[in-house]
Structure 1
Amino acid sequence: MKAGTPAGAVGAMCGAHAQVMSAAELSVALRLEGATRSTVREALWGTRELVKTHGPRGTVHLLPAADLPMWVSALSELPLVGPSFPAHVRMTGEQTEKVVEAIAGAVRERELTIDELGEAVVAATGPWAGDLVMPAFQTMWPRWRQAMAVAAHRGAFVYGPARGRKVTYTAPPPGTLPGPALGAKELLRRYLLAYGPATPEDFAQWLWVPKAWAARLFASADLEEVRFAGRPAWVVAGDTETPGEPPRGVRLLPYFDAYLVAGRPRELLYPGAAAGRALNGGQAGNHAVLLVDGEVAGVWHQRRSGRRVHVTVEPLRPLTAARSRELDDQVARIGEILEARPELTIGPVTTGPHA
Structure 2
Amino acid sequence: MNVPPSRVPVLEWAGVSARRLERSSLAVPGTATGPADVVARLCGAHAQVLSAAELSVGLRLSDITRDGVRDALWRDRTLVKTYGPRGTVHLLPTQDLPMWTGALSALPASAGNGRGGVDLLSPQQTEEVIAAIADALHDAELSADDLTEAIVERTGPWAADPVMEAFQGKWPCWRTAMDLAANRGALCFAPNQGRKAAYTSPHRWLPGFTPTEGNAALAALVKSYLYAYGPATPQHFARWLAAPRRWASELFASLGEEIQQVELAGERAWVVAGDTEVPAEPARGLVLLPYFDAYLIGCQPRELLFPGAAAGRALAAGQAGNFPVLLVDGQAAGVWHQRRAGKKLFVTVEEITPLTAVQRKELDAQVERVGEILQGRTELTLGKVAVGPHA
When the two structures are superposed, what TM-score results if normalisation uses the length of structure 2?
A: 0.87
Q: State the 4+ residue runs in structure 1 displaced beyond 4 angstroms.
A: 83-86
The worse-fitting range, judged by mean Cα deviation, of 255-264 and 299-308 is 299-308
Partner of 1:66: 95
Deviates more, 1:24-33 or 1:334-343: 334-343
| 1:318 counterpart letter in structure 2 | P
1:48 aligns with 2:77: yes
- CA–CA distance in structure 1, aligned partners of residues 288 and 332 of structure 2: 10
CA-to-aligned-CA distance 1:257-294 (integer Å, 9 cap, x gap): 00011111000111111111111121110110101111
Q: Distance between the aligned counterparts of 2:287 and 2:230, measured in 1? A: 21
Q: Tell me the equivalent position of 1:140.
A: 170
1:276-291 aligned at under 5 Å gives the runs 276-291=312-327
For 1:189, the equivalent position in structure 2 comes to 223
Residue of 52, 57, 66 corresponding to 2:86? 57
Q: How does 1:71-82 map to 2 (within 5 A)?
A: 71-82=100-111
For residues 31 and 182 of structure 1, what CA distance do their matches in structure 2 show? 30
Q: Identity of counterpart residues, as a percentage?
A: 59
Matched, 1:231 2:291: no
Partner of 1:177: 210
Confirm or deny: 8 A CA contact 1:70 1:187 kept in the other structure.
yes
Q: 2 CA distance for matches of 1:138 and 1:35?
A: 35
Computed over aligned residues only, the root mean square deviation of the Cα atoms, in angstroms, reads: 1.4
Contact 1:250/1:293, CA 8 A, preserved across alignment:
yes
In structure 1, what is the Cα distance between the partners aligned to 2:216 and 2:369?
Answer: 37
Report the 3-state secondary structure (helix = DSSP H, G, I; strand = E; otherwise coil) of the residue aligned with 1:102. helix
Residues 233, 326 of structure 1: CA spacing in aligned structure 2 closer, same or farther, 3 A cutoff? Answer: same
Q: Secondary structure at the match of 2:227?
A: helix
Give the counterpart letter for 1:348 in structure 2: K
Secondary structure at the counterpart of residue 275 of structure 2:
coil
Query: 1:22, CA displacement in angstroms?
Result: 0.3
Name which of 298, 306, 313 aligns with 2:334: 298
Paired residue type of 1:204: A
Match of 2:368 among 314, 324, 332: 332
1: CA distance, partners of 2:42 / 2:209: 20
The aligned counterpart of 2:359 is 323
Distance in 1 (alpha carbons) for counterparts of 2:121 and 2:189: 23
Contact 2:101 2:212 survives alignment (8 Å): no
Structure 1 partner of 2:9: none
* Equivalent residues of 1:300, 1:312 under 8 A apart: yes
**For residues 185-222 of structure 1, what are the alpha-carbon distances to aligned partners after superposition, in whole Å with 9 as ceiling and x for unaligned?**
10001000000000000000000000011001101111
Point out where structure 1 has 5 or more consecutive residues left out of the alignment.
Answer: none
Instruction: Give the secondary-structure state (helix, strand or coil) at the position aligned to 1:135.
Output: strand
In the alignment, the residues of structure 2 paired with residue 267 and residue 176 of structure 1 have an alpha-carbon distance, to the nearest angstrom, of 41
Which residue matches 2:56?
Answer: 27
Residue type at the aligned position of 1:40: V
Residues 1:16 and 2:52 aligned together? no
Question: Counterpart in 1 of 2:161?
Answer: 131
Partner-residue secondary structure (3-state), 2:107: coil
Could you state the TM-score of these two structures normalised by the residue count of structure 1? 0.96
For residue 136 of structure 1, report the CA deviation from its aligned partner: 1.8
Distance in 2 between the 1:182 and 1:308 partners?
48
- Select which of 126, 146, 149 maps to 1:116: 146
Compute the displacement of 1:47 (Å): 0.7
Q: CA 1:31–1:80 in structure 2 vs 1: closer, same or farther (change >3 Å)?
A: same
Aligned 8 A contact 1:72 1:176 in 2: no
1:336 & 1:135 partners in 2: Cα distance? 38
Quote how far apart the aligned CAs of 1:3 are. Answer: 4.2
Higher relative contact order (CA 8 A, sep 6+): 2
CA distance in 1, matches of 2:37, 2:338: 27
* Paired residue type of 1:281: A
CA distance in 1, matches of 2:159, 2:377: 48
Instruction: Tell me the alpha carbon deviations over residues 271-318 of structure 1, each in whole angstroms, 9 at most, x when there is no partner.
Output: 111111111121110110101111111100111122221111000111
| 280, 283, 288: which one aligns with 1:252 | 288
Asked if structure 2 preserves the Cα contact closer than 8 Å seen for 1:69 and 1:175, the reply is: no
Cα distance in 2 between the residues matched to 1:187 and 1:52: 18
Q: What is the CA-CA distance between 1:138 and the residue it aligns to?
A: 4.2
Question: What's 1:208 paired with?
Answer: 242
1:241 Cα offset (Å): 0.6
Q: Give the 3-state SS of the residue equivalent to 2:48 in structure 1.
A: coil
Deviation of 1:85 (Å): 4.6
Contact 1:13/1:194 (8 A) holds in 2: yes
1:64-103 aligned within 5 A:
64-82=93-111, 84-86=116-118, 90-103=120-133
> Which blocks of at least 5 consecutive residues in structure 2 are unaligned?
1-30
SS in 2 for 1:247: coil
Equivalent-residue separation in structure 1 for 2:138 and 2:251 (angstroms):
34
**How far did residue 176 of structure 1 move?**
2.4
